Amino acid sequence: PDRDEGGSVVLERVPLKTKPPGMYQVVMLNDDYTPMEFVVVVIQEFFGKDLEAATAIMLKIHLDGKAVCGVYSKDVAATKVDQVLEAAHKAGHPLKCLSEPVD
């Protein structure tokens, strides 16, 4: 083994490779029952969008089946999902959303 000036054995350690935290997108899903107006309010409230941007996202969900409402760290994305699901459940709407890693 390698030794230092004093004769002690030098143990070499390669730094553990760390990877950057990846980002997660919150995807909202379409359904046949949740009112458009409720979705627009939720998107404004929890994703910081103004009325125009929230309306555009809601319409994209309605037409395409889903859309990304925002991109966050894993923890924040999970919290957004919880907030949306709780608000929808409390209001009696079946609105669903999920978070997934950004490619």
Which strands sit side by side in the sheet containing 24-29, from one edge to the other?
Answer: 66-72, 24-29, 96-101
Residues touching ligand TYC: how many (CB under 6 A)?
13
User: Which CB sits closer to ligand TYC, 4 or 64?
Assistant: 64
Instruction: Determine which residue in the list 30, 44, 55, 83 makes contact with ligand TYC, applying CB under 6 A.
Output: 30
Helix (H) or strand (E) holding 26: strand 24-29
Per CB under 6 A, 58 contacts ligand TYC? yes
Instruction: Determine which residue in the list 41, 55, 62, 68 makes contact with ligand TYC, applying CB under 6 A.
Output: 62
Instruction: Determine which residue in the list 61, 69, 81, 84 makes contact with ligand TYC, applying CB under 6 A.
Output: 61
- Yes or no: say if 62 and 36 are a contact pair by the CB < 8 Å rule: yes
- Yes or no: say if 12 and 89 are a contact pair by the CB < 8 Å rule: no
**CB-CB neighbours of 54 under 10 Å:** 20
Residue ranges binding ligand TYC (CB under 6 A): 28-32, 34-36, 39, 58, 61-62, 95
